[in-house]
Amino acid sequence: MEDSNDMGVPGFTKAVVLNSPEDANAYLTRVRCPCGGNYSVAGRELYCTYGCTYDIAHVACTSCGEESDIYFDITRIIEQETSQRK
Protein backbone atom coordinates (compact mmCIF):
# COMPACT_ATOMS: atom_id res chain seq x y z
CA MET A 1 0.00 0.00 0.00
CA GLU A 2 1.36 3.36 -1.03
CA ASP A 3 0.69 6.38 1.12
CA SER A 4 -0.10 9.12 -1.36
CA ASN A 5 -1.13 12.06 0.84
CA ASP A 6 2.40 13.39 1.32
CA MET A 7 2.91 15.40 -1.88
CA GLY A 8 3.64 12.20 -3.78
CA VAL A 9 7.12 11.86 -2.35
CA PRO A 10 7.33 9.34 0.50
CA GLY A 11 9.45 10.39 3.45
CA PHE A 12 8.88 14.11 3.55
CA THR A 13 6.09 13.88 6.11
CA LYS A 14 8.46 12.15 8.54
CA ALA A 15 11.33 14.52 7.85
CA VAL A 16 13.47 15.47 10.82
CA VAL A 17 13.32 19.22 11.38
CA LEU A 18 16.80 20.66 11.89
CA ASN A 19 17.80 23.95 13.49
CA SER A 20 21.48 23.81 12.63
CA PRO A 21 23.52 22.00 9.95
CA GLU A 22 25.47 20.04 12.57
CA ASP A 23 22.26 18.39 13.73
CA ALA A 24 22.12 16.30 10.56
CA ASN A 25 25.46 14.60 11.25
CA ALA A 26 24.60 14.18 14.92
CA TYR A 27 21.36 12.52 13.96
CA LEU A 28 23.05 10.25 11.42
CA THR A 29 25.53 8.97 13.99
CA ARG A 30 22.67 8.28 16.45
CA VAL A 31 20.16 6.61 14.17
CA ARG A 32 20.24 2.83 13.89
CA CYS A 33 18.98 0.29 11.41
CA PRO A 34 16.09 -1.86 12.73
CA CYS A 35 18.63 -4.71 12.93
CA GLY A 36 20.75 -2.64 15.32
CA GLY A 37 23.54 -1.86 12.85
CA ASN A 38 25.03 1.51 12.03
CA TYR A 39 24.19 3.40 8.88
CA SER A 40 26.85 4.70 6.57
CA VAL A 41 25.95 7.63 4.34
CA ALA A 42 26.19 6.79 0.64
CA GLY A 43 25.09 10.17 -0.63
CA ARG A 44 23.30 13.41 0.12
CA GLU A 45 20.77 15.24 -1.95
CA LEU A 46 19.00 18.56 -1.65
CA TYR A 47 15.36 18.72 -2.59
CA CYS A 48 13.27 21.86 -2.72
CA THR A 49 9.51 21.72 -2.85
CA TYR A 50 6.60 23.96 -1.87
CA GLY A 51 8.91 26.51 -0.25
CA CYS A 52 10.60 23.90 1.90
CA THR A 53 14.12 22.56 1.53
CA TYR A 54 15.02 19.00 2.40
CA ASP A 55 18.39 17.36 2.85
CA ILE A 56 18.02 13.69 1.97
CA ALA A 57 20.67 11.27 3.20
CA HIS A 58 20.90 7.97 1.37
CA VAL A 59 22.18 5.48 3.91
CA ALA A 60 23.03 1.80 3.99
CA CYS A 61 23.32 -0.42 7.04
CA THR A 62 26.85 -1.63 7.62
CA SER A 63 25.54 -4.88 9.14
CA CYS A 64 22.68 -6.11 6.93
CA GLY A 65 23.08 -3.83 3.92
CA GLU A 66 19.54 -2.51 4.17
CA GLU A 67 19.26 0.81 2.35
CA SER A 68 17.18 3.68 3.58
CA ASP A 69 16.63 7.38 3.04
CA ILE A 70 16.61 9.83 5.92
CA TYR A 71 14.87 13.13 5.33
CA PHE A 72 15.89 16.35 7.02
CA ASP A 73 13.78 19.47 6.84
CA ILE A 74 16.40 22.24 6.61
CA THR A 75 13.97 25.02 5.66
CA ARG A 76 14.69 26.89 8.90
CA ILE A 77 18.46 26.72 8.35
CA ILE A 78 18.14 28.08 4.83
CA GLU A 79 15.94 30.91 6.11
CA GLN A 80 18.48 31.78 8.81
CA GLU A 81 21.34 31.82 6.30
CA THR A 82 19.33 33.96 3.91
CA SER A 83 18.39 36.49 6.58
CA GLN A 84 22.00 36.69 7.81
CA ARG A 85 23.22 37.55 4.35
CA LYS A 86 20.93 40.56 4.05
By CB under 5 A, name the binding residues for Zn ion.
33, 35, 37, 61, 63-64, 66
CB of 15 to Zn ion, least distance (A): 21
CB of 32 to Zn ion, least distance (A): 8
CB of 68 to Zn ion, least distance (A): 9
Name residues whose C-beta falls within 8 Å of residue 76's C-beta, 6 or more positions apart in sequence: 17, 18, 19
Nearer to Zn ion, 46 or 64 (CB): 64
Measured between alpha carbons, how far is 80 from 76 in angstroms, rounded to an integer? Answer: 6
